[in-house]
């Protein structure tokens, strides 16, 4: 059964930014695992620490930030302790990240073929001709028409969604063990999105690739993920099997999130919105960070709530008054 | 009837990729390499009435951003004309067009590349309103605070630089910057795609409020049909550079006419669908470098007939206010 080492086990990860205005605790005690071949959705409000969690795993946290605590076990090896050389040899080959902003992957002054061929040859000893073919096939995989002509273009000659697809194709090149996909399909229409999700799903099933899919789009994770983690203000507030969480959300934030999906509302009417705004990380409310916005908050919420499994095994929540009536 | 605020007549935008030196040499040696032309926008007719919200939808790469840029005066059209309240403003720079009263702001798809990385958020948002005399220099801080609050950001953030924000926060800075100069017409290019739903809801509600308060007119580019349905009065569907259908929102979603629109509506992911099996795209994805003949959609259309390959269907009014470009409409 489940005694295989997971592809990734993040344990109590803390990544903080030491800014002039104070310490921003962007990731503050995050734990989750991703098994071989599994797709885990990481959802949460803008600014809740999803991307920084991803950057921490691949070792690309920007100054003035750093991982201050916790373990990042990649097939048992703690990446929080790994040196730069080790990270460089893993990155792109065994672990890849698709960045939210495709221009973080693409170099604006180089042609797409130059960049992709270089990416292929960085970890594989193949001729330029073979590398070009690999690159071309990768573009076809993500639905880019006229791939031969397109290879000769520069990034600015692509549409926004095409740039995103090139970044995805680049991440898929070496069939890594783990892909961290940060909102990779947000600017894509449904057909292309379907094409990419198809390719990604196939890779997970056929090669046992594991996937962390960061998104705010619940309708995409709903179709793709096995499990889901919901983040709020640097912490995971709810986690479980996809159906458990979406059908029986326990945390008031998850509940509000599901309620504000446009299709659940009537056209032209104001959308249900979670009141208030994301707290500043420099100035987090005491206790449960959600309490100023939470309809169920009371005095008990002024102490940091513990993680519990009140309804079903494996469905965890960090809240003192979870929505048990929905469970 | 009142004149539309903005009207495009037969507007095209082509990008030509000229041959580089190596390719020219190949040609001298008897090769037959040709210049590549991308038909990004192909003879588009489109109008937007004052105070209206028009949603522009279509596949990735079909020319939505390019069309938005032409309207915002960032790209000059290769062909065709742009009218503002009935006056031809084709080819005027954004500054000149502004003198005619045309004040278009664009919220860009890619916030990272449209925000100056060396400017603090305070200046990114507050500088232009001061320059344009909307506010006095002394009022800048309060004004910036107010704009930030409106897009759900903490005013404390204003001393930071763009790279110190999360993706969604950056997008909201772009929105605040565009709104700060009180435009009359706003082109929102995937403006809320990177936002989570609760903030999306907040920004959508903000857009709706502003529309009422400031009589703002929007062209709302998005691939998210749920959002477009919610926000738009009218929807325009593009396919490979051409407008294939346009209709009032409700009618379009209830009864799409064009086969491409029908296909698009069928694919919408829903939160109700778990463990979905995603399908690969059937057939070749057509390219604007070498678009299919006749109706661009014919290689993927389940209703294609011989005529569709040979003849381009024109966009015609099939019912009051409803336009579609498909040969099926003139069968009977
Ligand atoms: N270089 C930095 N300096 C200071 N704070 C930072 C820096 N980078 C990120 N942050 C802060 O860390 C927090 C988490 O950011 P992160 O990018 O992980 O959010 P996210 O969940 O990915 O949000 P989004 O959905 O908007 O992309 C944010 O509040 C952000 O402002
Ligand atoms: N500066 C440019 N030079 C050459 N080709 C370009 C340029 N800008 C856009 N194109 C091409 O024009 C076509 C339409 O691009 P556009 O950015 O308008 O698409 P889009 O509909 O906005 O797509 P997306 O949803 O992916 O953003 C694409 O084939 C693109 O490669
Ligand atoms: S702990 Fe209290 S404030 Fe926090 S989510 Fe639960 S009920 Fe709301
Ligand atoms: S014109 Fe023909 S190919 Fe094009 S959408 Fe109509 S039926 Fe399909
Ligand atoms: Mg992010
Ligand atoms: Mg675009």
Q: How far is B82 from chain A (nearest CA, A)?
A: 23
CB contact under 8 A, B208 and A188: no
Nearest residue (CA) to ligand 2, atom 6: A157
The ligand 2 atom at the shortest distance from the C-alpha of residue A150 is 31
* Domain membership flag for residue B1: no
* Number of domains present in the structure of chain A: 2
H helices of chain A, in order, are 50-58, 84-90, 112-123, 128-141, 147-151, 160-172, 190-207, 218-224, 242-247, 252-259
| Domain boundary pick from A173, A192, A222 | A173
Quote the CA–CA distance of A240 and A225 in Å, as a whole number: 11
DSSP calls for B191-232: TTTTS-HHHHHHHHHHHHHHHHHH--EEEEE-S-HHHHHHH-
Same-domain status, B247 and B213:
no
Same-domain status, B258 and B128:
no
* Segment among A23-27, B119-123, B167-171, B197-201 with least mean pLDDT: B197-201
- Cα dihedral angle (A83, A85, A89, A91), rounded to 10 degrees? 60
Q: CA nearest A91: which of A212, A203, A173?
A: A173
Answer for the pair B163, B169: CB distance below 8 angstroms, yes or no. Answer: no
CA end-to-end span of chain A, whole Å? Answer: 27
The ligand 4 atom at the shortest distance from the C-alpha of residue B298 is 3
- Give the contacts of A169 (CB within 8 A, at least 6 positions apart): A116, A135, A138, A139, A141, A142, A144
Answer for the pair A112, A150: CB distance below 8 angstroms, yes or no. Answer: yes
Buried-exposed string A147-179: b where 16+ CB fall within 10 A, e elsewhere: beebbebbbeebbbbbbbbbbbbbbbbbebbbb
Tell me, using a 6 A CB cutoff, whether residue A319 lines ligand 3.
yes
CB contact under 8 A, A265 and B230: yes
Nearest residue (CA) to ligand 2, atom 18: B63
Tokens of B167: 């993706």
What mean pLDDT do residues B286-304 have? 90
Q: Which site among A219, A246, A252 would you substitute to test the B interface, given the most B Cβ atoms closer than 10 Å to its Cβ?
A: A219
Q: What pLDDT score does A1 carry?
A: 46
CB contact under 8 A, A273 and B270: no
The ligand 4 atom at the shortest distance from the C-alpha of residue B329 is 6
**B16 versus B95: which is more confidently predicted?**
B16
| Domain boundary pick from A173, A204, A224 | A173
Average pLDDT, chain B: 86
Nearest residue (CA) to ligand 4, atom 1: B326
CATH code of B127's domain? 3.40.50.300
CATH code of A299's domain? 3.40.50.300
Domain residues for the domain of A56 are 8-94+174-326
Strand partners, B331: none
| Domain boundary pick from B186, B218, B239 | B239
Could you give the percent of chain B with pLDDT greater than 90?
A: 43
Answer for the pair B157, B144: CB distance below 8 angstroms, yes or no. Answer: no
Q: What pLDDT score does B69 carry?
A: 92
* Domain membership flag for residue A303: yes
Same-domain status, A78 and A145:
no
Tokens of B31: 């090769």
- Per-residue model confidence as pLDDT tens for chain A (327 residues): 455 789 999 999 999 999 888 899 999 999 999 999 999 999 988 889 999 999 999 999 988 999 999 999 999 999 999 999 999 999 988 999 998 888 888 898 999 999 999 999 988 899 999 999 999 999 988 888 889 989 999 998 998 888 888 998 999 888 899 999 998 877 677 777 777 888 888 888 888 999 999 988 788 888 889 999 999 999 999 999 999 999 999 999 999 888 777 665 555 666 667 777 777 788 888 999 999 999 999 999 999 999 999 888 889 999 999 998 866
Q: Looking at the CA of B305, name the nearest ligand.
A: 4
* Domain membership flag for residue A1: no
Same-domain status, B167 and B215:
yes
Among B283, B293, B305, name the best residue to mutate to test ligand 4's pocket (greatest count of ligand atoms within 8 A of Cβ).
B305
Tokens of B304: 């294609």
CB contact under 8 A, B110 and A160: yes
Same-domain status, B130 and B34:
yes
* Domain membership flag for residue B274: no
Residue B332 pLDDT grade (very low, low, confident, very high; cuts 50, 70, 90) = very low
* Domain membership flag for residue A283: yes
For residue B165, give the 3-state DSSP assignment: coil
CB contact under 8 A, A260 and B201: yes
Same-domain status, B161 and B226:
yes
Same-domain status, A109 and A84:
no
- Give the contacts of A93 (CB within 8 A, at least 6 positions apart): A122, A123, A174, A176
Among B58, B61, B236, name the best residue to mutate to test ligand 2's pocket (greatest count of ligand atoms within 8 A of Cβ).
B61
Strand partners, B15: B38
Could you give the percent of chain B with pLDDT greater than 70?
A: 94
Q: Looking at the CA of B78, name the nearest ligand.
A: 2
**Is pLDDT of B267 > 80?**
no
Question: What one-character DSSP code corresponds to residue A91?
Answer: B
Label residue B168 exposed, middle or buried (CB < 10 Å: 0-12, 13-18, 19+).
buried
Tokens of A28: 């503050």
What mean pLDDT do residues B226-255 have? 92
Q: Does B289 touch chain A (CB under 8 A)?
A: yes
**Is pLDDT of B292 > 80?**
yes
* Domain membership flag for residue A35: yes
Each residue of B138-161: pLDDT tens digit?
999 999 999 998 888 888 889 999
Same-domain status, B192 and B102:
yes
Answer for the pair B197, B124: CB distance below 8 angstroms, yes or no. Answer: no
Nearest CA in chain A to B172: A46
Q: What pLDDT score does B40 carry?
A: 94
Each residue of B209-231: pLDDT tens digit?
877 877 889 999 988 787 888 88
Each residue of B63-81: pLDDT tens digit?
999 999 999 888 889 999 9
Q: Does B202 touch chain A (CB under 8 A)?
A: yes
Same-domain status, A197 and A241:
yes
Same-domain status, A143 and A89:
no
- Cα dihedral angle (B277, B283, B289, B293), rounded to 10 degrees? -140
Quote the CA–CA distance of B198 and B217 in Å, as a whole number: 24
- Give the contacts of A321 (CB within 8 A, at least 6 positions apart): A252, A296, A297, A298, A300, A301
* Number of domains present in the structure of chain B: 2
- Cα dihedral angle (A211, B111, B70, B213), rounded to 10 degrees? 110
Contacts of A214 in chain B (CB under 8 A): none
| Domain boundary pick from A152, A173, A194 | A173
For residue B107, give the 3-state DSSP assignment: strand
- Give the contacts of B75 (CB within 8 A, at least 6 positions apart): B13, B66, B69
* Domain membership flag for residue B277: no
Tokens of A239: 């986690």
Quote the CA–CA distance of A172 and A210 in Å, as a whole number: 12
Q: What pLDDT score does A199 carry?
A: 82
CB contact under 8 A, A271 and B201: yes
Contacts of A198 in chain B (CB under 8 A): 278-280
ipTM of this complex: 0.80
Considering just the CA atoms, what is the radius of gyration of chain B in Å?
22
Residues lining ligand 2, judged by CB closer than 6 Å? A 156-162, 187; B 15, 38, 40, 58, 60-66, 109, 288
Quote the CA–CA distance of B296 and B308 in Å, as a whole number: 9
Residue carrying structure tokens 């509302």? A265
Domain residues for the domain of B294 are 241-269+282-332
Label residue B210 exposed, middle or buried (CB < 10 Å: 0-12, 13-18, 19+).
middle
For residue A139, give the 3-state DSSP assignment: helix
Same-domain status, B165 and B262:
no
Positive/negative CA dihedral, A86, A88, A90, A91: positive
Q: What pLDDT score does A3 carry?
A: 57
Evaluate if pTM is beyond 0.90: no
**Is pLDDT of B197 > 80?**
no
The ligand 2 atom at the shortest distance from the C-alpha of residue B65 is 22
Same-domain status, A281 and A194:
yes
Quote the CA–CA distance of A186 and A189 in Å, as a whole number: 8
Q: Looking at the CA of B41, name the nearest ligand.
A: 2
Q: What pLDDT score does B200 carry?
A: 72
**Is pLDDT of B28 > 60?**
yes
Tokens of B247: 């209709």
Positive/negative CA dihedral, A144, A145, A151, A154: negative
Same-domain status, A138 and A245:
no
Q: Does B169 touch chain A (CB under 8 A)?
A: yes
């Amino acid at each position: 059964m489940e005694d295989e080492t997971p592809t990734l086990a993040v344990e109590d990860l803390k990544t903080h930014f030491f800014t002039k205005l104070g310490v921003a605790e962007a990731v503050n005690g995050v734990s989750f695992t991703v098994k071989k071949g599994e797709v885990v959705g990481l959802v949460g409000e803008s600014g809740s620490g999803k991307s920084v969690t991803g950057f921490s795993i691949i070792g690309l946290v920007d100054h003035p930030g750093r991982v201050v605590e916790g373990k990042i076990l990649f097939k048992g090896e703690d990446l929080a302790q790994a040196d730069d050389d080790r990270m460089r040899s893993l990155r792109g080959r065994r672990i890849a990240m698709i960045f939210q902003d495709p221009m973080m992957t693409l170099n604006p002054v180089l042609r797409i073929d130059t960049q992709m061929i270089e990416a292929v040859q960085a970890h594989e000893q193949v001729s330029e001709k073979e590398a070009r073919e690999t690159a071309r096939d990768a573009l076809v995989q993500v639905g880019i028409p006229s791939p031969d002509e397109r290879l000769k273009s520069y990034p600015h000659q692509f549409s926004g969604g095409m740039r995103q697809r090139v970044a995805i194709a680049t991440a898929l090149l070496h069939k890594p063990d783990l892909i961290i996909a940060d909102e990779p399909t947000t600017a894509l229409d449904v057909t292309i999105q379907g094409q990419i999700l198809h390719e990604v799903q196939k890779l997970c099933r056929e090669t046992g690739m594991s996937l962390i899919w960061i998104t705010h789009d619940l309708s995409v994770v709903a179709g793709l993920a096995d499990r889901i983690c919901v983040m709020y203000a640097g912490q995971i507030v709810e986690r479980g099997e996809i159906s458990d969480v979406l059908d029986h959300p326990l945390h008031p934030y998850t509940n509000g999130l599901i309620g504000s999906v446009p299709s659940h509302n009537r056209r032209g009417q104001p959308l249900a919105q979670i009141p208030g705004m994301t707290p500043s990380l420099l100035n987090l409310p005491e206790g449960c960070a959600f309490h100023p916005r939470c309809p169920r908050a009371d005095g008990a919420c002024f102490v940091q709530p513990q993680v519990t499994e009140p309804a079903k095994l494996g469905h965890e929540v960090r809240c003192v008054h979870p929505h048990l009536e929905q469970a | 009837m009142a004149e539309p605020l903005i009207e495009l007549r037969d507007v095209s935008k082509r990008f030509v990729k000229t041959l580089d030196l190596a390719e020219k040499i190949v040609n001298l040696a008897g090769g037959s390499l040709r210049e590549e032309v991308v038909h990004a926008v192909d003879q588009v007719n489109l109008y937007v009435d004052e105070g209206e919200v028009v949603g522009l939808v279509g596949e990735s790469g079909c020319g939505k951003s390019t069309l938005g840029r032409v309207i915002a005066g960032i790209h000059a059209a290769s062909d065709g004309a742009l009218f503002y309240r009935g006056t031809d403003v084709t080819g005027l720079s954004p500054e000149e067009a502004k003198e005619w009263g045309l004040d278009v702001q664009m919220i860009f798809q890619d916030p990272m590349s449209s925000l100056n990385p060396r400017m603090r958020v305070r200046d990114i948002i507050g500088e232009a309103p001061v320059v344009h005399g909307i506010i006095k220099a002394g009022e800048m801080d309060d004004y910036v605070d107010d704009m930030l609050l409106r897009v759900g950001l903490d005013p404390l953030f204003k001393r930071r630089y763009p790279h110190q924000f999360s993706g969604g926060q950056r997008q909201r800075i772009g929105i605040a910057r565009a709104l700060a100069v009180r435009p009359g017409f706003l082109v929102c290019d995937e403006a809320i795609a990177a936002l989570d739903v609760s903030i999306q809801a907040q920004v959508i509600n903000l857009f709706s409020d502003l529309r009422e308060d400031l009589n703002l007119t929007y062209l709302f580019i998005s691939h998210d049909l749920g959002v477009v349905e919610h926000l738009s009065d009218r929807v325009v569907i593009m396919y490979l550079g051409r407008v294939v259908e346009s209709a009032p929102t409700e009618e379009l979603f209830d009864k799409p006419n064009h086969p491409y629109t029908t296909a698009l509506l069928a694919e919408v992911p829903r939160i109700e669908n778990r463990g979905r099996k995603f399908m690969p795209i059937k057939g070749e994805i057509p390219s604007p470098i070498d678009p299919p003949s006749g109706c661009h959609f014919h290689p993927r259309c389940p209703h294609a007939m011989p005529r569709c390959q040979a003849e381009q269907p024109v966009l015609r009014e099939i019912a009051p206010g409803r336009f579609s470009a498909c040969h099926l409409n003139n069968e009977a």
